[in-house]
Structure 1
Amino acid sequence: MKNVFFTLAFLCSSILIAQEGTNMKKLITPPEQVRLAFEKEYPGKVPVWSEEYVGDDADEIRFEAKYNVSNTTKAVAIYDNLGNMKAYELQIPFSQLPPKSQAYLKKNYAPKAIREIAMVVDNKNVTTYEVGIEKDTKFYDIQFDKDGGFDVIIEKN
């Protein structure tokens, strides 16, 4: 009886571990030209690479290099498969948001709803701000333009 119990417990835990593994992002090694572009732009930084498929038919691949700028600040550099930078995201404190963005957030959300804040610069050198908030157990990205004006809110999965 004891052996049956341990066998069932082992099988159940194996199934749970296998299911957890399917939800994790796959760590990858990017193509050499992507890796070299990152190393040239951010010498000495050690990234954790992942990939994401984007586009209308999810037919374009993007390589994301997440790394620490300092002990308290994180960043993400996003490249296409040829090593061209598509965007750069830098974690920033609330105080570095434009005043219009700060006012909007203070008026519409509790401070504890704010989960992450980033300044984003795309490949056309356009700066925007993204604020991740949690409301009613759902996660949203609120985007602001370079001057802090509200742009759009997107529900994330």
Structure 2
Amino acid sequence: MKNVFLSFTFLCSSFLIAQEGTNMKKEITPPEKVRFAFEREYPGKVPVWSEEYVGDDADEIRFEARYNVDDRTKAVAIYDNLGNMKAYELQIPFKQLPIKAQSYLKKNYKAKAIREIAMVVDDKKKTTYEVGIEKDSKFYDIVFDAEGGFDVSVEKN
């Protein structure tokens, strides 16, 4: 069991590092309001900033600050152009998922299919858990609610 956990942790870490390399967005410097909001919330952390356009017509801009919480944990803080936090995503180990989510994953997927796990808190303080799964050469985000109940599965490109 210990070897399985260590293997799983290694796979998750490796995948997150690989994801960062393949999904690299152009590094940018966000507006001062956004930088100030991040520095106030996470003093001493050094982010790598990128931007993404969202919304129905991709007319809203979001600034993503990717940073290391510690030597083994990564996080992403997402802000609008006024410096309001829109979401926070924290990499977590399998054992920190709610028990219901752990049971669902163990029942429906092999341990090696799990590529990444994150706790996500949105701007309304709603917590969800996202688990990246690779199955049949496709990547899926499995989303669970705060109690670990299955919410949705979304195929990623």
Query: What TM-score do the two structures reach when normalised by structure 2?
Result: 0.84
The runs of 5 or more residues in structure 1 that have no matched partner are 1-22
Which whole-Å CA distance do the structure 1 matches of 2:32 and 2:104 have between them? 43
Which whole-Å CA distance do the structure 2 matches of 1:52 and 1:39 have between them? 20
**2:72 corresponds to 1:50:** no
Which whole-Å CA distance do the structure 2 matches of 1:103 and 1:119 have between them? 17
Letter in 2 for 1:63: F
2:105 maps to what in 1? 105
Displacement of 1:36 in angstroms is 0.4
Which whole-Å CA distance do the structure 2 matches of 1:97 and 1:79 have between them? 25
Aligned residues: percent identity? 83
Considering Cα pairs closer than 8 Å and 6+ residues apart, tell me whether 1 or 2 has the greater RCO.
2
Displacement of 1:24 in angstroms is 4.3
Which whole-Å CA distance do the structure 1 matches of 2:25 and 2:76 have between them? 15
Which whole-Å CA distance do the structure 1 matches of 2:150 and 2:57 have between them? 28
The runs of 5 or more residues in structure 2 that have no matched partner are 1-22
Which whole-Å CA distance do the structure 1 matches of 2:117 and 2:24 have between them? 23
Look at both structures and tell me which one has the larger radius of gyration over its CA atoms.
Answer: 1
1:118 maps to what in 2? 118
What is the number of equivalent residue pairs in this alignment?
135
What is the RMSD of the two structures over their aligned residues, measured on CA atoms?
0.9
Which whole-Å CA distance do the structure 2 matches of 1:51 and 1:24 have between them? 11
1:130 maps to what in 2? 130
1:69 maps to what in 2? 69
Q: Secondary structure at the match of 1:95?
A: helix
Which whole-Å CA distance do the structure 2 matches of 1:25 and 1:66 have between them? 11
Instruction: Sort the Cα spacing of 1:73 and 1:24 in 2 relative to 1 into closer, same or farther, 3 A.
Output: closer
The equivalences for 1:28-39 within 5 A come to 28-39=28-39
2:149 maps to what in 1? 149
Letter in 2 for 1:103: S
Which whole-Å CA distance do the structure 1 matches of 2:38 and 2:103 have between them? 36
Q: Secondary structure at the match of 2:100?
A: helix
